[in-house]
Amino acid sequence: MNTSPFFIKPTPLQVVMFKVALALVPAIAVYTYSFGIGVLVQITLATIAALVTEAFCLKLRNYPIKPFVTDGSAIVTAWLMALSFPPLAPWWMIVVAAVLSIALAKHMYGGLGQNTFNPAMVGFAIMIVSFPAQMSRWAAPFGVLPQSLDWSAQLSWIFTGHLPAGLAFDAIASATPLDTVKTQLMQHASMSHIFQSPLFGSIGGIGTEWITAAYLLGGLYLLWQKLIPWQIPVTFLAVLGGVAGIFHLVDPAHYTSPLFHWFSGAAMLGAFFIVTDPVTGPTTPLGRVIFAALIGLLTYLIRVFGGYPDGVAFAVLIMNLAAPFIDQYTQPAVFGRKGQQKKAGAQS
């Protein structure tokens, strides 16, 4: 500490990561309340697998293990990924996903801060591409079906694949609201008919609308703590909602409302926790807006016209690729050079 500044603001990385994790807690609580202990199991498995992989990779790369393992970044990755997984996915799936996301998406690119792609989304995307059936088998939230799995049955199913005698998983499985809308529409069911299903609440899915609301709450906390720039969630949600709104206005029988798009699937989680990942997004103010807007657009297109029920993960990964490019072309003018920047930009 021989050079200026001799002061630093005491907000270490760990604190930042801790606060992000803290912001996820309300959603985790609601999620567990609605879907059962499976949620916590997935989170725990992902966390352990991510930390072990992180330590292993650091050791391989001759990095100091302690400060990096404890920086909190692997935990945040693990949680975000686990929250994207079906709560009753077999145990090995989340473990494989966590290992891959840390080893492949993070350390192969040079570790914290150097990854091109959002590690949590990489883990999720690999699994949904490789195991589409398992990854779309969600149990219905509590209260939707007459029968639900208690905690021991959930554990047994996750770890051994066995259910209590006389119960088949199909009996308790259900598609997600986004998925239901998509497949039912393809079977030419009418929108009002689809929404009569017990799966749907007033604006999103039963249970899921509360989970997404909890993400929103966590997101507001992050905004308040100035940990994420408000432009990103606002732009993302505005574009997603805006496009949805246009389609919905033109043809309400075939296109769901903006509210539905906001409160279903990973929209809120994405808006505040994933699109805002600083490492894999642009850093310029204008770049962030463009980035978030395009993710919003892509999310809608994939959801409605693409092959997957939810589009956030793929939209994010696609735009991750474009982030450096966006940065390059959105460099803000520096102090005293506002007028000149046009020329400089045209040259570069």
Partner 1 sequence: MNARAALAATFFPFHGGVHPPEHKDESSGSPIVAGPIPATLVVPLHQSIGNMAKALVNVGDVVLKGQMIAAADGTVSAAVHAPTSGRIVAISPQRVPHPSGLLEYCITLESDGADRWIERTRFDWRNADGRAIRDYLRDMGVVGLGGAVFPSHLKIGGAKDGLDTLVINAAECEPFITCDDRLMRERASQIVEGIKILQQLLQAREVLIGVEDNKPEAVDAMRAAIAGCEFKIDVVVVPTLYPSGGAKQLIKLLTNKEVPSGVRSTDLGVQCFNVATVYTIYRAIEHGEPVISRVVTLTGNVERPGNVDALIGTPIADLLAFAGNKADSDSYIYGGPMMGFEIPGTDVGLSKAGNCIIAKSSGLFPPKPAEMPCIRCGKCADACPAELQPMDLYWFGKSKNFGKAQERNLFDCIECGACAYVCPSNIQLVDYFRFSKSEIWAAEKSKKAADQARERHEFRQFREEREKREKAERLAAKAAQKHEAAASSADPADAERAAKIKAAMERAAAKKAEAAAQAGESAAPADATAAPVTEAVAAPVAEAAPVSQLDPEKAERIRAAMEKRAAEKAEQEAMSPEEKAAREAEKKAKIEAAMAAAAAKKAAKAAEAAKAQGDQADGSGA
Show the tokens assigned to 35: 């879907």
Length of the chain: 348
**Burial class of 20 by CB neighbour count within 10 A (0 to 12, 13 to 18, 19+):** buried
CA distance 249 to 66: 54
Instruction: For partner 1, give the closer residue by CB, 252 or 332.
Output: 332
Interaction pattern, residues 236-275, with partner 1; x per rule: CB under 8 A: ----------------------------------------
Collect all residues with Cβ–Cβ distance below 8 Å to 277 and sequence separation of at least 6. Answer: 118
Collect all residues with Cβ–Cβ distance below 8 Å to 337 and sequence separation of at least 6. Answer: 344
Instruction: For partner 1, give the closer residue by CB, 224 or 335.
Output: 335
The three-class DSSP label of residue 173 is: strand
In 3D, which of 42, 32, 34 has the Cα closest to residue 157?
Answer: 42
Instruction: For partner 1, give the closer residue by CB, 162 or 337.
Output: 337
Q: How far are the Cα atoms of 172, 217, 218, 226, 267 from residue 222, in angstroms, in the given order?
A: 36, 9, 6, 6, 16
Instruction: For partner 1, give the closer residue by CB, 187 or 347.
Output: 347
By CB under 8 A, residue 192 contacts partner 1: no
Least distance in angstroms from the C-beta of 82 to partner 1:
21
By CB under 8 A, residue 231 contacts partner 1: no
Task: Pick from 8, 133, 186, 346 the residue near partner 1 by CB under 8 A.
Answer: 8
From 40-48, 91-99, 109-117, 152-160, give the range in contact with partner 1 by CB under 8 A: 109-117
In 3D, which of 178, 173, 283, 269 has the Cα closest to residue 217?
Answer: 269
By CB under 8 A, residue 3 contacts partner 1: yes
Task: Pick from 15, 108, 129, 249 the residue near partner 1 by CB under 8 A.
Answer: 15
Interaction pattern, residues 326-345, with partner 1; x per rule: CB under 8 A: -x---xxxxxxxx-x-----
Interacting residue ranges for partner 1, rule: CB under 8 A: 1-9, 11-13, 15-16, 67-68, 71, 73, 111-114, 229, 278-279, 281, 283-284, 327, 331-338, 340, 348
